[in-house]
């Protein structure tokens, strides 16, 4: 595949800025909702490879994005390992919180390969149906983000229970971390083996990790995952997304062998352009909420990002997932502004 996405992720700044958006398959699209409503249970939906392929393809057909991201979820990993994950409409994901590391037993690791094989099938079908120049991304949650769900049992405002474990149960955190790392590697391997062109590691709640524990909880686990993938023969470029770690991006970029770094909307693109290592491609970082109003303010914000990254390899994206209330017209506006830009 030699499209602009992979070339840019490889470090070339070719004058064209590739675009894709986190959560580009989602509830802001009526087409998505129609397929989604045909499968009331979210996990069955993710594991129905034909439906997953259909919704993965929708935003590519509609907006001509440069990359598709396989429709799946980071919480399929705890689900596969027998945590009772369910998605409750209006509430989000729920599971019974673990009370000890042994509740997430390494004895269940083999279930990843068997229960998540539909994600591999979806990747194969998707790759076969996509134009050559479009990249297909696979993804997983980074260990800390998965651990927050295991311990909290749901999304959380401040992740107080997970953070308490960091201080109170350090041994158990280490044990849990080892299991989650192996589970994540296996989930990514399924995707790599079946044709994902690049892999993204979502550490959506990295901002909750105290700065002095980032190395142990965010950086080393990400690096271990990449080292394991390489050892097992998978060479796909990886994009790290340690959301909300501010100055911690410097250590992350320095110590994790990533091709790209996802930037959240809290990062000043001018700072990032100047301070992040030039061999790492930057991806981001428009505030997804700017798309709700669109118009001039969104336009100015997009221009500022494009200008800041004009001299380096940059993949345009949002700073987090697109929200359900986003008007589709504003996505068209965003795409046409970026396609019309020349540095
Ligand atoms: O288009 C894409 O980006 C690919 C699909 C994708 C989904 N989840 C589908 C989904 C991706 C990359 C994810 C990752 C994911 N899932 C993350 C990390 C990225 C981030 O946003 O920070 C996290 C934390 C999750 C866990 C998760 N899954 C939550 C918190 C929710 C509920 C959110 C909500 O808005 O209700 C989900 C469900 C989910 N995963 C939806 C989608 C499109 C919405 C549910 C639905 O359609 O019914």
HSE, CB side, 13 Å, CA atoms: give it for residue 281: 26
Q: Give mean pLDDT, residues 307-335.
A: 97
Answer whether 263's CB lies under 8 Å from 272's CB: yes
**Residue entry with tokens 């929708």:** 58
283 φ/ψ angles, rounded to the nearest 5 degrees: -130, 125
Active site residue 23: yes
Q: How confident is the model at residue 30 (pLDDT cuts 50, 70, 90)?
A: very high
Q: What is the mean pLDDT of residues 291-304?
A: 98
Catalytic residue among 32, 66, 127, 149: 149
7 or 1: which leads in pLDDT: 7
- Per the annotation, the verdict on 332 as an active-site residue is no
Taking the C-alpha atoms of residue 11 and residue 260, their distance in angstroms, rounded to an integer, is: 9
d(CA 306, CA 266): 16
298 and 291 Cβ atoms separated by less than 8 Å:
yes
Residue tagged active-site, from 27, 193, 213, 304: 27
Q: Which of 49, 71, 190 is nearest to 120 (CA)?
A: 190
Question: Per-residue pLDDT tens for 122-132?
Answer: 999 999 999 99
Q: 22-283 — its CATH code? A: 3.20.20.210
Q: What is the 3-state secondary structure (H, E, C) of 127-168?
A: HHHCCCCCEEEEEEECHHHHHHHHHHCECCCCCHHHHHHHHH
Choosing from 66, 73, 197, 264, the catalytic residue is 73
- Percent pLDDT > 90 in the chain is 96
Examine the pLDDT at 341 and tell me if it is beyond 90: no
How is the chain split into domains, by residue range? 22-283
State the pLDDT confidence band at 3, using cuts at 50, 70 and 90.
confident
Extract the runs of DSSP E, i.e. beta strands, from the chain: 67-69, 86-88, 92-94, 135-141, 198-203, 238-242, 260-262, 281-286, 314-318
User: Residue 342 — very low, low, confident or very high, per pLDDT cuts 50/70/90?
Assistant: low
Q: Give Cα 172 to chain centroid, integer Å.
A: 26
* Residue position matching structure tokens 């004058």: 15
> Ligand 1 pocket: which of 20, 26, 41, 126 to mutate (most atoms <8 Å of CB)?
26
**pLDDT score for 14:** 73
Atom of ligand 1 nearest to the CA of 155: 30
132 φ/ψ sector (left φ>0, alpha ψ -120 to 50, else beta): alpha
Q: Is residue 10 scored above 70 in pLDDT?
A: yes
Q: Which residues contact 286 (CB under 8 A, 6 or more apart)?
A: 265, 298, 301, 302, 305, 316, 317, 318, 319, 334
Region 195-208: mean pLDDT is 98
pTM of the model: 0.97
Catalytic residue list contains 73: yes
Q: Pick the residue whose CA is nearest to atom 43 on ligand 1.
A: 26
Using DSSP's 3-state secondary structure scheme, residue 336 falls into helix
Looking at every residue in the chain, the average pLDDT score rounds to 97
What pLDDT is recorded for position 15? Answer: 78
Rounded to whole angstroms, the Cα distance separating 60 from 3 reads 14
Residue with the two structure tokens 């998505």: 32
Question: How confident is the model at residue 63, as a pLDDT?
Answer: 98
Query: What whole-number distance in Å separates Cα of residue 257 and Cα of residue 259?
Result: 7
How far, in Å, are 25, 43, 51 from residue 39 at the CA level?
Answer: 15, 9, 9
Pocket lined around ligand 1, Cβ cut-off 6 Å? 22-27, 36, 42, 69, 71, 73-75, 87, 92-93, 139, 155, 202, 204, 321
232 is catalytic: no
Residue 343 has pLDDT above 70, yes or no: no
Q: Look at residue 1 in the predicted model and tell me its pLDDT.
A: 45
The arithmetic mean of pLDDT across residues 265-282, rounded, is 98
DSSP string of 227-276, one letter each residue: HHHHHTT----EEEEETT-TTHHHHHHHHS--SEEE--TTS-HHHHHHHS
Ligand 1 atom 48: the closest Cα is on which residue?
42
Q: Are 239 and 9 in contact (CB under 8 A)?
A: yes
Task: State how beta strands 86-88 and 92-94 pair.
Answer: antiparallel
Catalytic-residue membership of 193: no
Nearest CA to ligand 1 atom 10: 73
d(CA 82, CA 76): 10
- Rounded Cα distance between 325 and 28, Å, is 6
pLDDT > 80? residue 233: yes
């Amino acid at each position: 595949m030699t499209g602009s996405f992979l070339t840019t992720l490889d470090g070339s700044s070719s004058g064209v800025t590739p675009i894709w958006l986190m959560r580009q398959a989602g509830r802001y699209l009526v087409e998505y909702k129609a397929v989604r409503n045909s499968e009331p249970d979210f996990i069955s939906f993710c594991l129905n490879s034909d439906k997953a392929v259909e919704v993965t393809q929708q935003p590519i057909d509609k907006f001509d994005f440069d990359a598709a991201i396989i429709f799946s979820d980071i919480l399929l990993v705890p689900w596969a390992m027998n945590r009772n994950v369910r998605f409750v409409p209006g509430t989000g994901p729920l599971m019974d919180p673990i009370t000890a590391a042994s509740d997430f037993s390494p004895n269940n690791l083999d279930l990843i390969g068997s229960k998540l094989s539909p994600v591999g099938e979806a990747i194969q079908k998707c790759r076969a149906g996509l134009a050559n120049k479009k990249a297909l991304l696979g993804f997983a949650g980074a260990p800390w983000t998965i651990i927050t769900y295991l311990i909290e049992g749901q999304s959380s405002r401040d992740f107080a229970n997970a953070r308490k474990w960091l201080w109170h149960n350090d041994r158990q955190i280490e044990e849990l971390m080892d299991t989650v790392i192996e589970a994540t590697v296996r989930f990514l391997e399924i995707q790599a083996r079946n044709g994902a062109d690049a892999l993204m590691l979502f550490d959506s709640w990295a901002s909750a990790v105290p700065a002095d524990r980032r190395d142990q909880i965010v950086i080393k686990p990400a690096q271990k995952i990449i080292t394991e993938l390489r050892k097992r023969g998978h060479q796909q470029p990886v994009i790290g997304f340690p959301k909300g770690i501010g100055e911690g991006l410097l250590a992350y970029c320095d110590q994790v062998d990533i091709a790209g770094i996802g930037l959240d909307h809290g990062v000043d693109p001018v700072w990032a352009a100047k301070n992040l290592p030039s061999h790492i491609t930057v991806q981001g970082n428009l505030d997804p909420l700017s798309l709700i109003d669109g118009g001039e303010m969104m336009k100015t914000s997009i221009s500022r990002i494009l200008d800041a990254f004009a001299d380096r390899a940059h993949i345009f994206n949002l700073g987090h997932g697109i929200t359900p209330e986003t008007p589709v017209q504003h996505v068209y506006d965003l795409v046409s502004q970026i396609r019309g830009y020349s540095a």
